Structure 1
Amino acid sequence: MVGRWRRILLRPAAGRILEIGAGTGLGFAYYSAQATVVAIDPSLSMLQRARERVAAAEATIMLVAADADSLPFRDDTFDESVVELAMCTIEHPAGALAEMRRVMRPGAALRMLEHVRFEQPLAGWLQDRLTPVWRRVAGGCRLNRRTVNLVAAAGFTLGTVDRALGGYVVTILASKPGPRRGD
């Protein structure tokens, strides 16, 4: 199921792509040859594991050790940004989204695959109660992050938001305001 979501989200990505929280590189296989991906992760051990997947990818992939809330790139560098199942672990999501927006070109796409807080009140309440324990056992993962709201609050223009698994998983296609390069 996650593979299908990744294929739908990542296959159309083209140009210079910033992938935030690349982890072990599970998404690399889904990029097309039209993508040049700069994949960041703060964990050197994750990047070492991701290195094994670089050679098998169609896309050109470069690995960089960096934090999402302090990106080592110039303004307006990337054609698209991607976050797959990583926003939940980013300590300061508003700062990370601001940094992504800074390094994306005007009109650039933001593609996300994330689990989020349920909209159904009882399920959301349960996530709120479980999150403190879950963070300790799951590498800082927050079950109850309201990622769609965070993306909108960061100044991105929301395009499509598709929900699955009762609203627990979302794919988000948003963009940085402004005309795309070449438009």
Structure 2
Amino acid sequence: MAIITPVLLVLLCARSEICLYGRSHFQASQMASTVADAVSRYEAVTSADITSIFSVSSQVMGTEDFKDNGYVILSSVSRTGGATPKVAWQCKGGGHASTSRIGAVTKDATPPGGLVLDAMDDVIVAEVFYKYSPLFANAVPGLNDELYKTAVFRPRLGSLTSASRLLAPSEG
């Protein structure tokens, strides 16, 4: 009993940690999908729209620490009039600042998953960064990293490549 009990406790802690880590991956993916989908439903997006979508980020993620450990970057990527997709506008929100892996505003874009845009295509890309902090510090090595999830949606009601109604297109 004295030998088996500590081993069983370590296994229980490791199992719990792996389940929480998997749940965090799922929720980050769900959040990216929800944010991109919500924005893609607008005909014209404003800074108030983006602010309201970002304000529910921690609720979508299902954790209160997203305000401190999470970050969302929303980008409009288009290939209008050029051979290379470009980032038309970008909005950012959250507490744990990260750099977009898609690209910077007016620069060449790297769409996720090797997505190839046709001429005159535009998409909304949501990137979610979440700094996962383990419940049990050393139960499972390697779970102490930043989660990164993306979602891509095509605007439903026209093109969302113009950021003229956003107050600060590079910050949100």
Task: Give me the TM-score of the superposition, normalised by structure 1.
Answer: 0.24
Q: Tell me: higher relative CO, structure 1 or 2? Use CA pairs within 8 A at least 6 residues apart.
A: 2
Highest Rg: 1 or 2?
Answer: 2
Structure with the higher fraction of residues in strand conformation:
1
TM-score normalised according to structure 2 size? 0.25
